[in-house]
A and B are shown apart, each in its own frame.
Chain A
Amino acid sequence: MEFNDIVLMAIKLGLVLIPFMLVPLLILMERRGAAFIQDRPGPNRAAIPIFGLRLRGFGLVHNLTDGIKLFFKESFVPPFAYKPFYLIAPAIPVMTAVLTPSLIPWFAPISYAAANGVVTVAPSFFDANAGILALFALGSLSVYGVVLGSWASNSKFALLGGLRASAMMISYEVSMGLGALGLFLVVGSFSLTSIVEWQANHVWGIVVQPIGFLLFLVSMFAECNRNPFDVAEGESELVAGFHTEYSSVKFALFMMGEYCHIVVASALIATLFLGGYHLPWLDTVAIKTHLGGVLAGVLAVTALLFLAIAHLVHGRRKQYATLAASDRAARSKEYGFFRALFVLAGLACLGGAVASWLLVKPQALDLWHEGAKVYPLRWSLLTAALQIGIVLAKTLFFCWLFVWVRWTLPRMRYDQIMSLGWKVLLNIALVNLLVTAVIAKAVQS
């Protein structure tokens, strides 16, 4: 096994953990997003005192305290629960959350020159032609976490929540599959990599299948048990639904599985309908030939973002200065620290942008592979990193959409959900599929 193989394997293994790494960010996003939409301050109490500063980290410290609380809480198993399934159930959503990212292409296939010719590395572990089917299969397995957990809890609330959730997820899986089927019909492949390649060569899926996109999006909200479809929990009716009887780390696993599911769903929507790692006029070849310029552009945008955050922090600091709060001095000190941090980060990114504009000039090797020049491995890896960033940006946009919808729409009643799924979405999906098939056949012949 060569060194390059080990490096690439490690990178791919790291990508599998992306949903886990995004969970703290998503929880922060949820809290700050809720606060933003409901016009309140949001999490702002927990702080880490360090060097005379009280660092609150915009609410990130609350995640830390949550973790500590959940780990040190008593892990209580109700005496009436059926233990084996009760203990297995929280692990099932997490297991599917670990397996599914290995199917998503986070970057274009990497080609590099090895001792025995050009080697191509697939962007995902399982890149068979049935890639998207495997994703759907794993998604359908994650329902068992809810079902077994609710049944094994042996409580009425949990059982009702589990029944609702399983019925809803089964119903919406139908329109989810049918919604995406139109796209597969147009592309002519189940492989996620070739779907992204098709979008790079033609147009994004959302342009070809706008109705399919909406169907898929709505069904994904139901699959993730998110508002307006979160009847599985329905705290005003069912206490906490299927995880009423769960506490401590087991509860945390359920929550983590849920947030991982959101990340995976967002990544899947981005891959299927928004071109995945592709940006318009910026396909893999273009990125590789103008790597310095692209890198400079990305870093410049990042610098702008950092400076914008610094500006926001600066404004908030001025706002605090007018308040009669007792900890005014500590707050302005903290915000001053963050302002300096973000300004420094922005300047560093600007410097990096200039440096990459001047210094990054990749030379292609004198090798051709599948109609494209082969570059040295380090430049290919840099391209892959840029593409991972593109996918992550799109994914985070949809994650924000999930949060946005949750704090905007009220929960739907259960019968409304069922009639929407079976009487509206399914019919639209079938008609959409029929029209797509006719048009695809007409265009083909």
Chain B
Amino acid sequence: MLPELNAILGPIYFWLFAGLATLCGGALLLCRHPIQGAVALIGVMLSLSGLYALLHSPFLAVLQILVYAGAIMMLLVFVIMVLNQGLDDRIPRFDAYSLIGLALPVLLAALVLNTIGDSRSGIVEHAGTVRAGLETVAARMFDTAGGGWWLLFEFGGLILLAAIVAAVMLAKRSLDTVADDDQPHHEHAGHAERAAAVAAIPDAATVGRSTETFVKPPVAGTH
């Protein structure tokens, strides 16, 4: 019973998730408010997780939700909420340089279409083999005979930890005091004072965007 059902539902689900991912990706580029973009990105990640599940990779699908949608995006949404920035109207969505960016996805699409070419029917995997299940991933990673990847994995974790510690160190002006950015900023503050206030916002360093976008009105305004 199940194989026939899968053969019917598989392509439907594929196009559903693929369409959703593309739609959310487009929304991510077009949305004017950071939190709309964040939600669109969550949509992309959930659709990707569905695609992984279609490819018989349940472990990868679950990790996609757990790590990206559940943890990283959650943190990003949290930061957006803390800063509670308004609509981003100053930067235009598209300009002349966007055309260069547009060329890249076209090139990629051409490459992908060229590769899958006439084997269009093979988009959805029918084979019952689990590709990125828990066992396969674990066997590849902790493969003691062939070296394995666990040491590199642990190093990656250490580097991330070091990055977090470094971000905290950068955010703090001195080790003893907490960076206090909740002092009221005066409306007619001079440039130097404004710059100091911007530098005191801890996430400017960690998120790594230009500090320009983090200048906010003195009273944290709602959108």
Query: Which A residues contact B (CB, under 8 angstroms)?
Result: 1, 5, 80, 82, 85, 126, 128-130, 133-134, 136-138, 140-141, 143-144, 147-148, 150-151, 154, 159, 162-163, 166-167, 170, 173, 190
Q: A1, A134, A138, A170: which contacts B74 (Cβ < 8 A)? A: A170
Instruction: Give, as a whole number of angstroms, the nearest-CB distance from B76 to chain A.
Output: 11
Q: Contact: A141 with B65, CB < 8 Å?
A: yes
Q: Known A-B contacts: A130-B62, A170-B74. Give 11 more (CB < 8 A).
A: A85-B35, A128-B58, A129-B133, A130-B134, A134-B58, A134-B65, A137-B66, A137-B70, A140-B74, A170-B71, A170-B78
Q: Could you say which residues of chain A place their CB within 8 Å of the CB of B77?
A: 144, 147, 151, 166
B222 and A154 contacting across the interface, CB-CB below 8 Å: yes
Instruction: Tell me, yes or no, whether B162 is within 8 Å of chain A by CB.
Output: no
Q: Mark B73-84, 1 if CB is under 8 A from A, else 0.
A: 011011001101
Bound complex: CA of A143 vs CA of B58, how far in Å? 22
Which chain A residues border B35 with CB–CB below 8 Å?
85, 151
Q: Which residues of B contact A (CB under 8 A)?
A: 1, 35, 39, 42, 58-59, 62-63, 65-66, 69-71, 74-75, 77-78, 81-82, 84, 133-135, 222-223
In the bound complex, residues from chain B placing their C-beta under 8 Å from that of A148 are 39
A162 to B65, CA, bound (A): 21
Is B223's CB under 8 angstroms from A154's CB? Answer: yes
Question: Would A163 and B81 be within 8 Å (CB), given that A129-B135, A133-B66, A144-B42 are in contact?
Answer: yes
Q: Provide the bound-state CA to CA distance between A277 and B42, in Å.
A: 36
Contact B63 A133 (CB under 8 A): yes
Q: Which residue of A lies closest to B66 (CB)?
A: A137
A1 to B5, CA, bound (A): 11
Q: Could you tell me the dominant secondary structure of chain A's interface residues?
A: helix
Give the docked Cα–Cα distance between A5 and B1 (Å).
10
Question: For A173, what are the chain B residues with a Cβ–Cβ distance below 8 Å?
Answer: 71
Q: How far is the CA of A143 from the CA of B81 in the complex (A)?
A: 14
Instruction: Tell me whether A133 and B42 are in contact in the complex, defined as CB-CB below 8 angstroms, given that A140-B71, A147-B81, A159-B81 are known contacts.
Output: no
B74 near A162 (CB under 8 angstroms)?
no
Chain A residues near B42: list those with CB within 8 A.
144
- Given A82-B223, A137-B65, A140-B70, A159 and B84 touching (CB < 8 A)? yes
**Cβ-closest 7 pairs across A and B:** A140-B70, A137-B65, A137-B66, A129-B134, A128-B58, A130-B62, A133-B62
Hey, which chain A residues are within 8 Å of B65, CB to CB? 134, 137-138, 140-141
The answer to whether A130 touches B59 (Cβ under 8 A) is yes
Task: Provide 26 A-B residue pairs closer than 8 Å at the C-beta atoms, listed in order of the A residue.
Answer: A128-B58, A129-B59, A130-B133, A137-B65, A137-B66, A137-B69, A140-B70, A140-B71, A141-B69, A141-B70, A143-B70, A143-B74, A144-B77, A147-B74, A147-B81, A151-B35, A151-B77, A151-B81, A154-B223, A163-B78, A163-B81, A163-B82, A166-B74, A170-B71, A173-B71, A190-B134
